[in-house]
Amino acid sequence: MKAWIGLMSGTSMDGIDAILVTFEDRHIRIHATHTTDYPSDIRQRLASLSQNRGTPDDLGELDHATGSLFALAATSVIEKAGFPPASIAAIGSHGQTLRHQPDGSKPFSIQIGDPNLIAERTGVTTVADFRRRDLASGGQGAPLVPAFHKAFFSAAGEDRCILNLGGIANITHLPADNSAPVTGFDTGPSNALMDAWCLDQTGKAYDKDGAWADEGIVDQDLLGDMLSEAYFSRQPPKSTGTEKFNLEWLKVLLNRHPDLAGADVQRTLLELTAVTVAQQIPHFPGMTIFVCGGGARNRVLMRELQRTCSPSRIASTAELGLDPQWVEPVAFAWLASQRLSGKPGNLPEVTGASGERILGAVYYA
């Protein structure tokens, strides 16, 4: 049976999750996992470059540096699994998104993490650059993981929603009627804004368990200003990123609310995520919302989602057999398998592409 590796680093820019898996029908067997954290200087440079603060040299150097770290993550998970590289069919590397601008006359999405380095240093064929073919065909290039959700998490006769709480939150509705179209899109900010504010105010990279937010109270005036953002009322297909929802966006709003305590701002950001998910998610009787991504570990966010999304039940993707941290890395391992099998990796009804497309460029070992 062929083995596959998935590599994922999201908009939170905190590190690279690597997983080595095998697929058998709808069963996923995990053989090893590994996380490679970004050094603080790399994370800071990535954050700066993602906000257009940098030079072409910075881009080139970071492409090489992140490519080296992605290769390290891959070799580490290979060693943990004890698999010879020759037994691994391919690595699916999402790369590190720097800018995602799918709208306008010249849409683009930039992921770095040189796949040539990954293939060269691991000796394993690497598939990367998954988003741009969907963009070329008129799609958003995101979200791509709904195709994986459909393949592994759908259930006839049961409405399910997969909620990924990464730097940006996105949803996939898997309808009870398997012949009905899947829907999916980015709802707005999740961890990225909360992490940015936490780092700015406390020096900590994130608010563990949502404890700091839980010390604050929601400021309804600030929340109202946030909810006036036009993105939230746009109809899908749509996707977004830290190009829009970043610390500068927040601080412009805070100019109108200069006396708020830091914890109150953090609690209001958390409420923004809970409310915008609830407002945009489809609601069906008996539907369960299965949560994945780093936000699944935020106890307060999970509590508030249960309130805002009621009567739908909030649960973890662990109930579906896959730990919340590893859903997206497994998805990119699967997308690599789709690419090498000559099968499409996008859902046009989700991304808005003109049709199904085979995604990813192949870098042979």
Q: Which residues are annotated as a binding site?
A: 10-17
- Closest by Cα among 145, 126, 129, 33 to 88: 126
CA 198: distance to chain centroid?
20
Rounded Cα distance between 165 and 269, Å, is 13
Buried b (16+ CB within 10 A) or exposed e, 130-169: bbbbbbebebbbbbbbbbbbbebbbeeeebbbbbbbbbbb
Binding site per annotation, positions for ATP: 10-17
Rounded to whole angstroms, how far apart are CA atoms 78 and 209? 31
Dihedral sign (CA 46, 51, 57, 60): positive
CA distance 64 to 272: 36
CA distance 331 to 173: 16
CB-based contact 263:270 (threshold 8 Å): no
Are residues 252 and 199 in contact, defined by beta-carbon separation less than 8 angstroms? no
Question: How many Å is the Cα radius of gyration of the chain?
Answer: 20
